[in-house]
Structure 1
């Protein structure tokens, strides 16, 4: 922890109800941020209350220093409403951390139905694309800000071709938007997490593997993830949250357009 690192900053974290998103929200709140947690699950309001209490951040004149906002970021309308609500609650956004995404199905590409491919892209690409678009005019007007996208090293991984395509798009957004945003004092960066251990999800991402064939396909992902890591293990939520917080902070003020692999040596 770096106490006070985000004091005076408003940080918006998407996909914050659980997993990496919640770990990041907890981290930046503990380091002084006024935090807005965004998720489509109502659970996000409970998480925000817990974070405000645990982090000891209490309240300000505007209310609790960690607040929840529900929105479906797979649509531009949802992303726009989330950013508007954050601005209404806090008046500014200094950092946007785009964490929404995740594999829905795990199987060889020839077994994906066309509608499943569309849903994977909708889940893991468009929330980042839409929220970047929604927050950009505000950051340009204030001539500063940081966008941290969460991509994945699974752009080179088995049984997740649509997800890989989506996260490859997140990396491309990061590189291209950094070029446009730099003249406005805005940094755009990303991490590319590898396999990460997390508690069971309270809101499931998709259908669980059923039958021996589906379980074998999922196990191939686990095996390939560990084999590709030089450390031969999954990471922890804290090991993902730390680099994201660093890239979001002023300590990374000379870093933009970069994607940091956080995967035990697997570069994806």
Structure 2
């Protein structure tokens, strides 16, 4: 069973009475965000395509009962690269709680690292589908509910890799997330809905439990990946990767009522790298 959230910074009760859907919640940034919202009193619906998400949800639920935070967690597996999967996720939240106050779109990530001319057609399409479509679909799936409520917050997780080496298709997908964030924010502000984003830089994390793609095998492939690492550190003023807690904290702030006058904003969280 996953360990309860153990970050330094928790604001008790900040999400009391709120229902938050967090995608990509089985590991990494998504898991940290879900754990923190649960520790701050929110009812969290965790979504992932991996069954591991159920263990994370049970850990959050157990921790909430022990701490008395008021939080709770449920989980659902869904393929968010499809509209059917996104609709399933939102329907699960509505069936459990009757509303959705917060959506955190965290699904995405580089699958392959290589110069653009080394990507074939299939790899380009898979990168775009992995890092753009889950956010497009889940935003579309949740909007009718938020519009009916006249309230809601969507936090998209983008990337500073919109300017970066050896992942052009991923950069294009995250550029799409940025455009979606700003355009949708303008469109729905009058309906009481905020749409914001963070743009993480390099982030230290445990080895992924479910891999996005194959490991680099050849010396050339390893060099291509090392170029990403070197460029990420060099582009950061602080010359280091961030931590999962350092990425989760601004996401949770933007999702909270404390950020009520922020919409259409894309916050770089990359030690000074603006992407």
| Alignment TM class, shorter chain as reference | over 0.9
CA distance in 2, matches of 1:120, 1:148: 21
* Structure 2: gaps spanning 5 or more residues: 1-9
Partners of 2:157 and 2:196 lie apart in 1 by 9
Asked whether 1:227 is paired with 2:234, we answer yes
Q: Is the 8 A contact 1:30 1:57 kept in 2?
A: no
Kept in 1, the 8 Å contact 2:203–2:244? The answer is yes
> How far off its partner does 1:58 sit?
8.1
Q: How does 1:134-173 map to 2 (within 5 A)?
A: 134-173=141-180
Any idea what SS the aligned residue of 1:29 has?
Answer: helix
Matched, 1:45 2:59: no
What is the CA–CA distance in structure 2 between the aligned matches of 1:57 and 1:16, rounded to whole Å?
21
Match 1:21 to one of 4, 10, 30: 30
Aligned to 2:204: 197
Do 1:148 and 1:191's aligned partners in 2 also have CA atoms closer than 8 Å? yes
Contact between 2:24 and 2:31, CA under 8 Å: does it hold in 1?
yes
Distance 2:56 2:102 in 1: 19
Distance (whole Å) between structure 2 residues aligned to residue 207 and residue 14 of structure 1: 22
What CA deviation, in whole Å up to 9, does each residue of 1:151-184 have, x standing for no partner? Answer: 0000000000000000000000000000111000
TM-score, length-normalised on structure 2? 0.94
- RMSD, aligned α-carbons: 1.4
Question: 2: CA distance between counterparts of 1:95 and 1:137?
Answer: 13
Aligned counterparts of 1:29 and 1:119: Cα–Cα separation in 2 = 32
Match of 2:263 among 232, 256, 259: 256
The residue number in structure 1 matching 2:139 is 132
- State the alpha-carbon separation in 2 of the partners of residues 161 and 57 from structure 1: 45
Matches of 2:60 and 2:240, distance apart in 1: 29
1:211 aligns with 218
Correspondence for 2:7: none
Gaps of 5+ in 1: none
Per-residue CA shift, 1:66-118, capped at 9, x if unaligned?
A: 01110000001111111111111111000000000000000000000101000
The Cα of 1:254 is off from its aligned counterpart by 0.1
- 1:100 match: secondary structure: coil
**Distance apart, 1:45 and its partner CA:** 0.6
Matches within 5 A, 1:52-131: 52-56=61-65, 65-131=72-138
- CA drift of 1:223 comes to 0.2
Aligned to 1:177: 184
Does the Cα contact within 8 Å between 1:177 and 1:188 map onto a contact in 2?
A: yes
Equivalenced residue count is: 265
Query: Partners in 2 of 1:119 and 1:131 — Cα distance?
Result: 18
